[in-house]
Every structure is written in C-alpha cells, then in structure tokens.
Structure 1
C-alpha cells in the first residue's frame, strides 16, 4: 500500500492518522525503520508494517523543530560547564612551585 520509499531524514505522513514523521534510522539487519513523529515521540516500524501502511512522502513541516524549542542545553547531556580545573583560591606559593617541577603530560 505504501508508495514511499523509506529514506533517512525524509518526512512522511500516515494518511489514515495524518501524523507526520521523519525517518531517523534504517536498520537493515533488524529490518526495521526508526521514526520520530513531529511531536517528538520516537517509534519503530518493521518493513512489513511500512509496506502495508498508507504512507506518503511530504515536504519537511515548516516548524519541524518545535518539539525541541523548550530543550535546555543541559538536557542534551553534553554541556558540562565545569572545566574541572583545580581550585586556585586555596593554593599557596609552595603548591605553585611544586607544579612547576612536575613533568608536563
């Protein structure tokens, strides 16, 4: 029933539900298609379900990033503001001189 070929980063619409989604990954080994709906929900379809569904390729929605507008940088999992530098407030002159004697990395 499907007339669209699944391609990563392309947008599609389920005709029966009207839900729009994009393909985020194709797993040839597992014969599955990983999708992300416009609302942000992740899901997975097997090839049989894809072939039986009424899915058409569409243009990317105008505001497709809307589900991620309220995501804070900290929520992304890679924004560590701590530079992991030693606390220099408690250093003495002896500490600084000892560091000069150490071998560089």
Structure 2
C-alpha cells in the first residue's frame, strides 16, 4: 500500500508514504504536503478508495531550493548534456 494514492469520501486525495508493521500505523501525505499518521484500525475505518496518482503530483513536494540554503548555480556533478555544446558551436 506504500506509494498508492487514495481519496477520502470528502474528496481529499493522499498518498500512503509509510506503514509501520510493528506499531501498526499508516502515515499518509495529502496532495498539499500535510502529513498525518493513523493507527491501522482508524485507517481501515476511513473508507478511502484507491485512485490513480494525480497527473501533477508535485503539490505534495513543496520544497524550495532556498529552504535548504542552496543557491541557484550549476551543479558541477550534474552530467552535461552534449547537445548543449552543439547549440553553442552553431552560433558561428
């Protein structure tokens, strides 16, 4: 069930992000990024219906580079696209 998307009867969609077998808890993350944890018994009472993942699921990934002190600069470890070099050389 981890990684699966569901919808509550009231229309809220969420993804199951963790299941703790020992503690019998299910952790979910709503589309807006909010996280909530339920005991397994409560989870079963939610009447959540499985759904397809949203086309744009980035709503739950609400992270900005500034949040982690990262500057907007090129990553020296990121592989370069060889086609970018063709564009530079074609300007002659």
TM-score tier after normalising by the smaller chain length: 0.5 to 0.7
Q: CA deviation at 1:50?
A: 1.3
Which residue of 35, 39, 55 maps to 1:62? Answer: 55
What TM-score comes out, normalization by structure 2 length? 0.67
Aligned residues: 72
Give the root-mean-square deviation of aligned CA atoms: 2.1
What TM-score comes out, normalization by structure 1 length? 0.60
Tell which structure's C-alpha radius of gyration is larger: 1
State the distance in 1 between where 2:40 and 2:70 align.
Answer: 37
Structure 1 residues 67 and 31, CA, compared in 2 at 3 Å: closer, same or farther? closer
Any unmatched runs of 5+ in structure 2? 72-92
The 4+ residue runs of structure 1 with deviation greater than 3 A are 77-80
Any unmatched runs of 5+ in structure 1? 1-6, 81-105
State the distance in 2 between where 1:66 and 1:56 align.
Answer: 20
